[in-house]
Structure 1
Amino acid sequence: MSSSNKELKDRIKNASENGKKERFIYQDDDAIEKPFNWSQMRRLFIYMKPYTRQLIPVIVAMIIGTITRLTIPALTIVAIDQAIQPASGETSYGKLYLVAGIMVALFIIQWASNQYRIKYTNIIGQKVIYDLRHHLFQHIQKLSFRFYDKRPAGSVLVRVTNDVNALQDLFTNGVVNSLMDCVQLAGIVIILLIWNFKLGLAVMITVPIMFLVSSALRKRIRFAWQDVRKKQSRINSHLNESIQGMKITQAYVQEKENMRFFDNMNAVNVKAWNKASALNQTFGPVIEVTSAIGTFILFWYGSYLIEHQEITVGLLVGFANYVGNFWDPINRLGQVYNQLLVAMASSERIFEFIDEEPTVGELEYAKPLASIRGDVQFDNIVFEYEKGRPALHGISINVKAGQSIALVGHTGSGKSTIINLLCRFYDPVSGVVRIDGQDIRNITLDSLRSQVGLVMQDTFIFSGTIRDNIRYGCLNATDNEIVEAAKAVNAHDFIMSLPDGYDTEVEERGNVLSMGQRQLLSFARALLADPRVLILDEATASIDTETELKIQEALKTLLKGRTSFMIAHRLSTIRNADEIIVLDHGRIVEQGNHEALIRKNGVYNGLIEAQYRFLSA
């Protein structure tokens, strides 16, 4: 063993031992203890149904290739018994050349059919993988926020990437190849038993032994691959969190600790993979040993039968060829079974997500929401993120169309929760949220959210151009409309100062832009959507005072005629609101305009004084 390999193994061992002492903070997917069930595999194979017609010529090619493969050993018997060593004793070169020519033709046909089969099974397999990944991604986009609240992003990512990729071998060659091998095995068994029942039966006696040994490994292998998937999901979760939080890691000089933690997880993953791989490899030796025993029985008993003139030398050679062809498909079927085990582990995890129902779903009788006025009503709303821990206690708010409402309060008071319920990211435990008098649960989600604009404090900028990011609010918007929206929020000047203006490429999350610039783009995006209800969730928190003054002027015009909800701590943002609602621990403690609440000298006034003290400090 080289020193580098030994060093690597020592590192893995040490990291693994340290990992045993580590308390992982990432939520693992639940261990899957279900037995291997073919009903789930049939569900997986349903994705092949649209390509049934395309599979027919592939199956025909497979049958042609199998027939040629079964015919060639029979020609070997003819060549030996009738041409090389005939009963007359004289070699018949004419028959030998004829048999050789037929064999060459059969090999060419077999090669052509195999080429066709391999090419189109790969094409069809990739289409099936595309459909499965498309279905999975389409489904997870429909799932509610509660689904993402309890799962790290890496856990979701690994389902769409690793778990779907793990099915590629099964769909690209496993299914058709297993059919081919089953047909070949059936053909060989029938041929051997017809030619000489006693010799054929003697050779087949080892098959039950092989299946008894291999079946004992099935459960262990399946659980081993499930464990591998779980460990990979854990690594993906940690990677996603580490990359997202790289600034914090470097700011607190925790790179070594982060690396140690990752090494522990990586070592555990390596051990799980090695265990599953080692168990997988046991199929090969089992088949090879069984094949060797079968070959020994064939020549030992075959020699006895030749001696008693029950079979010919050519028949024994033909038997040997067929027995050799018998163990190859069994070996491949063992590999396909391994693919099925991997597919089972992955498909269980994929279907776990596909079977997940949105907690906020559309009712069958939900109707599209026509153009709204903007009246909003929260009627005695009770809501809880976790059962038994209410976040809102009987909240009731009536907002007339065109009014601006400011929500203020300490962190955790329920401000963002009210916004989440209005967008129907969650449903209340009790109570009703209405828009224009309609319960929003009776409205289709697309028609509701298309008329509610949302600007968050943590602005998300997609990779692409500035123009594409603004157009995300309305995909059919013209370039002129994009420019007008940018001008309205005073973003036009800074955009034009960029190297390519509106066509400037920005990276994921807009890292080339300042926080304030990203916030201005989010304003332009929301305003381009022209919503009837506009929500500003701490939307000016990352903008400097000079820029905020410009935005305040723009908002006076842009909010006119729209219902708006503003979550903000800055006095300049909320003092002009028609009504200010003060929340504390999920309850409304004060309500009124700025002047009225100041005169009341209550909680709101205390918040304002605290802000002034902070700014003057």
Structure 2
Amino acid sequence: MAEMVEEKVESEYSGSITKRLMAYMKPYTKQMVLSIILVLLITVFELLRPILIGDAIDTYIEGYNQPYAIVEKSDLSFQGEYLSKDLEGADCFAQLLMYEDEYYYFTDLNAQESEELHEISLGSVVPESVTKDGMVIAGISGEKLDADELKVLRNNDFHGIIRIGILYTIILVLNLICTFVQTWVLQLTGQNIIYEIRKEIFHHVHSLPLRFFDTHPVGRIVTRATNDVESLHEMYATILIRLFRNSIKIIGLAVVMLSMNLTLALYSFILVPVIAALTVVFKRLSRKIHREIRTKISMLNTFLSENISGMRLIQIFANEKMKYDEFKDKNSELYRANIKQMSVFAIFRPLIYFLSQLALGIVLYMGGMNVLDSTLTIGILYVFINYISNFFEPIQDLAEQFSTLQNAFASAEKIFTILDEKNTILEKENPVILDEIKGKIEFKHAWFAYEKDDYVLRDVSFIIHPGEKVAFVGATGAGKSSILNLIGRYYDIQKGQILIDDVDIKDLSIAQIREAIGQMQQDVFIFTGDISSNIRLLNDDISDETIVKSAQTVNAAHFIEHLPEGYHEPVSERGSTLSSGQRQLLSFARTLAFDPKILVMDEATANIDTETEQLIQQALERLMEGRTTIMVAHRLSTIQHADNIIVMHKGKIREMGTHQQLLQNDGIYKKLYDLQLYSV
């Protein structure tokens, strides 16, 4: 049942996740634009590198297949003639042929002879005759070149390869610099965004009413601020730009391939529709599974938080085995959800790889046939082979990035569900600010329920004058603690009015109300830090002298000064190193340090032994001087000197008066008093 509630809550968000996530990027528009520009440059560099190598193959490495034009002047001089690879407008040509690892040079060719020899050089060379000095082919004679002559002839090709090598190196360095800058900018931007989201969650959670914490486990809230926020980091720092980069890369590769060889490019893309269909299916499955995983993680964290906090109780009742079995079940659910995710990846990734290799095989076959037919150069075939590998790699990356994106979206849904929780305790735009809260409290026909019409308080009316000491007594569930929560406006009543100094608390500033109230509870929460910080509670206006004076007034200094480091003694979470009585005394010192006008004590002396209680009674009397004091206590001996005692029963006020008056009435209070008196 709990799991059904959890899943229902987790899937409530129905807004535009993408639009909302993008809103966090607005303050970093410049950084994102810079990253996009860098991505475009990186993509251009990646597209250029194969082209440079292909050009080196076709123009220089395989350069002997190209005819030379004999011109009047050029950088290449061979056997008294100037040669150029620019054939436009030339009438006289030369050609280099390779046969059985030997090179033969043909010169003084006309256009027809040059074209004929060029076609022969691209295919199978079958000479009519071969001698030690030359060969005859197609009726044209050519001389054999030795190594030195070949080196002179191909000197420009050698320098061309060096130039391409230098350019290739420059592009690599530029690519490295751009990648470094882009990665740094994105990671920094991502961390800044995540920092802001965490702050927003923490601030928003602090603003929510106590009703929210009554219905939401601590573990789930912690998961939102940690695991779920962290899953957004990769999206902002990596995924979005990689999605853009891979999309641009795919488009760029497609455009270049189509422009180089339309037929071969179309053969390369023949399997793209199949891959696109697989990607859509994968995306849908992945998002569903990621949602399930995030929910299971939240449930597991909630379970751990609750059970680690209650470890003492678990061990007291020897309940470890049952709790271990519960943990095992929840852990198994998360394990199975992760196995589902792995199964989807295990099927999708090999399928995409298989299709990419199949496409590569098609390109090799068709391109190889074209090379043999002399309709395609080896350099262009190399470019296509390189491009086809690079073409399917970003497609595969896109699918996996979609998976990570789905994970981020699943986390974002849960984060936004928390952020969209409304604070039901609303403050007016221009609340009333009193010059000073004197401490008069009045309830006028107040009705209050935690859930719908299940009223805890029913038509409650009373007045507490400034400086009065009023106590609420009654059986458990009578509504005593609810009254205290309503005075601090931690909850709002459904009907009636609550006034402080004759002003409706809904018209007052919430901050001013709570600053005026010092609340001492039975369950004292101690924060990790030291004694001093737990009294001050990060309020720098409270001096060290005030802390010491407050501790001395409530007799907390008696144990604090005996600690090894005194007021700077470290304390752990919940103050496990302190006794219950010591934690209560710290609570008294904390309250006094803030100098409130209204004191609220909810069973504040319940965990204090008789000796300690006697020590603080005098301190409490001094503390209550001039302050409105409201007490809730089951031990009637602690409230006998109250100015007014209000007896609650089933949400209503049944009796009201001083201790002696109520005893004389022989009502509920008298029965409670006799019960405690004779049970001692």
TM-score by length of 1: 0.92
Instruction: Report what 2:658 is aligned to.
Output: 593
Assess, with a 3 A threshold, how the Cα gap between structure 1 residues 107 and 26 changes in structure 2: closer, same or farther: same
Check if 1:603 corresponds to 2:668: yes
Check if 1:458 corresponds to 2:523: yes
2:646 maps to which of 567, 581, 586: 581
User: 2:425 is matched by which residue type in structure 1?
Assistant: V
Instruction: Report what 2:178 is aligned to.
Output: 113
Check if 1:49 corresponds to 2:49: no
1:301 CA drift (Å): 2.3
Contact 2:10 2:295 in 1 (8 A): no
Instruction: Report what 1:424 is aligned to.
Output: 489
Instruction: Report what 1:71 is aligned to.
Output: 48
* CA–CA distance in structure 2, aligned partners of residues 474 and 59 of structure 1: 45
2:555 maps to which of 473, 477, 490: 490
* CA–CA distance in structure 1, aligned partners of residues 664 and 618 of structure 2: 27
Instruction: Report what 1:6 is aligned to.
Output: none
1:305 CA drift (Å): 3.2
Check if 1:366 corresponds to 2:438: no
User: 1:77 is matched by which residue type in structure 2?
Assistant: G
Instruction: Report what 2:60 is aligned to.
Output: 83
Give 1:442-521 correspondences, 5 Å limit. Answer: 442-472=507-537, 474-521=539-586
Check if 1:440 corresponds to 2:505: yes
Instruction: Report what 2:441 is aligned to.
Output: 376
Check if 1:409 corresponds to 2:469: no
2:271 maps to which of 206, 226, 229: 206
Check if 1:28 corresponds to 2:93: no
The residue matched to 2:506 in structure 1 has which SS? helix
1:223 CA drift (Å): 1.4
* CA–CA distance in structure 1, aligned partners of residues 342 and 640 of structure 2: 66
Contact 1:369 1:448 in 2 (8 A): no
1:526 maps to which of 568, 571, 591: 591
* CA–CA distance in structure 1, aligned partners of residues 571 and 244 of structure 2: 50
2:626 maps to which of 561, 573, 576: 561
1:180 CA drift (Å): 1.8
* CA–CA distance in structure 2, aligned partners of residues 236 and 42 of structure 1: 29
Assess, with a 3 A threshold, how the Cα gap between structure 1 residues 277 and 439 changes in structure 2: closer, same or farther: farther
Assess, with a 3 A threshold, how the Cα gap between structure 1 residues 533 and 29 changes in structure 2: closer, same or farther: farther
Instruction: Report what 2:105 is aligned to.
Output: none
The residue matched to 2:6 in structure 1 has which SS? coil
Give 1:55-454 correspondences, 5 Å limit. Answer: 55-86=32-63, 87-88=66-67, 89=96, 92-454=157-519
1:493 CA drift (Å): 1.3
User: 1:303 is matched by which residue type in structure 2?
Assistant: G
User: 1:605 is matched by which residue type in structure 2?
Assistant: K
User: 1:135 is matched by which residue type in structure 2?
Assistant: E
Structure 1 unmatched runs, 5+: 1-22
1:488 CA drift (Å): 0.9
Identity of aligned residues (%): 35
Contact 1:214 1:286 in 2 (8 A): no
* CA–CA distance in structure 2, aligned partners of residues 474 and 115 of structure 1: 44
Equivalent residue pairs, number: 592
The residue matched to 2:206 in structure 1 has which SS? helix
Contact 2:11 2:413 in 1 (8 A): no
Assess, with a 3 A threshold, how the Cα gap between structure 1 residues 164 and 361 changes in structure 2: closer, same or farther: same
* CA–CA distance in structure 2, aligned partners of residues 25 and 542 of structure 1: 36
* CA–CA distance in structure 1, aligned partners of residues 539 and 656 of structure 2: 35
1:29 CA drift (Å): 3.6
Instruction: Report what 1:612 is aligned to.
Output: 677
* CA–CA distance in structure 2, aligned partners of residues 43 and 230 of structure 1: 21
1:103 CA drift (Å): 0.9
1:309 CA drift (Å): 3.8
TM-score by length of 2: 0.84
1:283 CA drift (Å): 3.5
The residue matched to 2:387 in structure 1 has which SS? helix
1:24 CA drift (Å): 5.8
User: 2:590 is matched by which residue type in structure 1?
Assistant: R
Of 156-165 and 298-307, deviating more is: 298-307
Of 101-110 and 49-58, deviating more is: 49-58
Contact 2:13 2:414 in 1 (8 A): no
Name whichever structure is richer in strand by fraction: 2
Cα root mean square deviation, aligned: 1.9
The residue matched to 1:536 in structure 2 has which SS? strand
Assess, with a 3 A threshold, how the Cα gap between structure 1 residues 525 and 421 changes in structure 2: closer, same or farther: same
The residue matched to 1:381 in structure 2 has which SS? strand
Of 151-160 and 273-282, deviating more is: 273-282
Contact 1:375 1:437 in 2 (8 A): yes
User: 1:229 is matched by which residue type in structure 2?
Assistant: R
Contact 1:36 1:344 in 2 (8 A): no
Contact 1:77 1:317 in 2 (8 A): yes
1:572 CA drift (Å): 2.9
> Cα deviation per residue 1:23-63 (whole Å; 9 max; x = unaligned)?
768952426668998x3122112212212223343333322
Structure 2 unmatched runs, 5+: 68-95, 98-153
